[in-house]
Structure 1
Amino acid sequence: MTPSPSAVPSTAAGQPLTAPTEIPVALSSASVYPLSVHDAFAVSHDLGYDGVEIMVTNSSISQNPDTLRDLSERYQQPILAIHAPTLLLTQQVWGKAWTKIEMSAAMAAEVGASTVVTHPPFRWQTGYAENFAEGVKTIAEQYGVTIAVENMYPWRVRGREAKAYLPHWNPVPEPYEHVTWDFSHAAIAGMDSFEQILKLGDRLSHVHLTDGTPNGKDEHLLPGEGTQRCAEALSYLAGAGFKGVVAIEVSTRRSRGAGEREEQLKQTLDFAREHLRPKAPVGGPSSSLGA
């Protein structure tokens, strides 16, 4: 496997995906669940997304770079990010924790994706959690990709916080060079995404656009349906010169009737495009964001 020659998203024909001032909007394959990865490419194409983010799961297609490349070419949808199988539900995918990260980075390089999304280590992952920041940096350099650690949220048992992550579920104060920000996770944690994005500055490399409420559930609502300042955050990113990708990661599993899922995903795409139009920064530092 060889690293992608460029971190700039491009079509299968090698042409630039968007104008330099535009922020690409990707469709996460998680957004079409329980439909397949194949469906994610088809929906992304039909609705006019700029590309896809592949969440690696138990699905054999999500683990196969050759099949993913074929789907990317067939639907003219570049793969903009790979989400490593670091969820509890994917513990059996690709073996040990470091193997998951390395195989995700290798597949990202092979399919031309510039970013790998990963979660912070679980406390019980001995030999992985203790050296996570250094190990992630080494693997990223080896494969020529960005590995962006995603913000999570506190687990609560009988009303008390259980320490599930090491060193913490919040990546902002940790020594990670690159971070993925998820609005639904921020809502559970009681955090203001707009404020945290300002704090992250250039370390923000990838965004999971969704929404949520502080009710303890990872809802992944459509933007505007929760309590997060999604529109304000996107407008800031547009004005600040964010260099990463905004990936739509909303839940459509309760969709009923023909076309309802597509309507929700088109509505979310329109929301993203509207608020990502380049404009003056809302506030905060004027330096460019992302890597």
Structure 2
Amino acid sequence: MTRIGLSTASVYPESSAHAFTWASRLGYDAVEVMVGIDALSQQVSAVRQLSDHHEIPISAVHAPCLLFTQRVWGLEPWGKLERSAEMAEAVGAEVVVVHPPFRWQREYAAGFVDGIAALEASTGIAFAVENMYPWRASSRRGMEMYAPGWDPSTEPYAHTAIDLSHAAIAASDPIEMAVRMGSRLTHVHLTDGTGSAKDEHLVPGRGVMRAAEFLTHVADSGFSGDVVVEINTRKATTREQRETDLRESLEFAREHFAVSA
């Protein structure tokens, strides 16, 4: 059964520990750990203790592959993925979420597709490659900053992930992308965007990405992975405002992830 999870990134600048508290309090089914948001997120024992304490499972580990986490767990990208798989196995998660390489990571990018397949074979962990987007400063055409590309549906990955905020920046239809992925779609980051050049990570339903239709399509297609809320609550000025956004996102997911009649 598909679980509705909460990404620890959704409560930043609060810590990963706060994310588990929020998830438990609001009734989320699981937590996705974004490695690198805070020091605790890098510690397997601490993450496992949080999961046990709150009696909430960990659905996925997000590898530290963002620009601002480039130095987390060293500089060698394959080493980061191996450690992510080790954490996933230790905490009971079956998925590691990973971004495509940056174009300047030439050696890593050149062997990425085959390397991901080899990692999955050796670890038994699914590496869900997430859609990204061209970089742009405005509405003008963007620069291709990922290799072999920002759209994982065009590569033979066994497991993929869709993020609606990333799709908004790329002006990509997430339903069409899901169709191309088919059964390879393993993981969903539920959020929203308006199509601006900024990675907004809005509460689902507050953007233009037809998040409700997307969830219904995914449910109808027999999707059996996890749907994880990954929103930006940094502008929340009070805990009440953050709680409203987190609760609304959970309710949105549960309302719309349903097989249509």
TM range (shorter): over 0.9
Q: Kindly provide the CA deviation profile for residues 10-67 of structure 1, in whole angstroms up to 9, marking residues without a partner as x.
A: xxxxxxxxxxxx4200000000000000000000000000010000005221111111
Name the TM-score, length of structure 2 as normaliser: 0.96
Correspondence 1:36 to 2:40: no
- 1:139-178 to 2 correspondences below 5 Å: 139-156=119-136, 159-178=140-159
Return 5+ residue gaps in structure 2 as ranges: none
Deviation at 1:152, TM superposition (A): 0.3
State how far apart, in whole Å, the 1-side matches of 2:242 and 2:181 are: 33
Deviation at 1:239, TM superposition (A): 2.2
Secondary structure of 1:216's aligned partner: coil
- Find the counterpart in structure 2 of residue 132 from structure 1: 112
Return 5+ residue gaps in structure 1 as ranges: 1-21, 281-291
Correspondence 1:60 to 2:60: no
- 1:95-244 to 2 correspondences below 5 Å: 95=74, 96-156=76-136, 159-244=140-225
Counterpart code for 2:33: I
Contact conserved, 1:136 with 1:147, CA < 8 A, in 2? Answer: yes
State how far apart, in whole Å, the 2-side matches of 1:160 and 1:149 are: 24
Residue of structure 2 aligned with 1:71, choices 45, 50, 64: 50
Secondary structure of 1:250's aligned partner: coil
- 1:217–1:141 Cα change, 3 Å: same
State how far apart, in whole Å, the 2-side matches of 1:53 and 1:248 are: 9
> Percent of counterpart pairs with the same letter?
49
Contact conserved, 2:201 with 2:232, CA < 8 A, in 1? Answer: yes
Contact conserved, 1:23 with 1:276, CA < 8 A, in 2? Answer: no
Deviation at 1:160, TM superposition (A): 4.6
Q: Kindly provide the CA deviation profile for residues 135-161 of structure 1, in whole angstroms up to 9, marking residues without a partner as x.
A: 111112222110010000001268453
State how far apart, in whole Å, the 1-side matches of 2:55 and 2:239 are: 24
State how far apart, in whole Å, the 2-side matches of 1:53 and 1:151 are: 17
Higher share of residues assigned helix: 2
Matched length? 259
CA RMSD between the two structures: 1.3
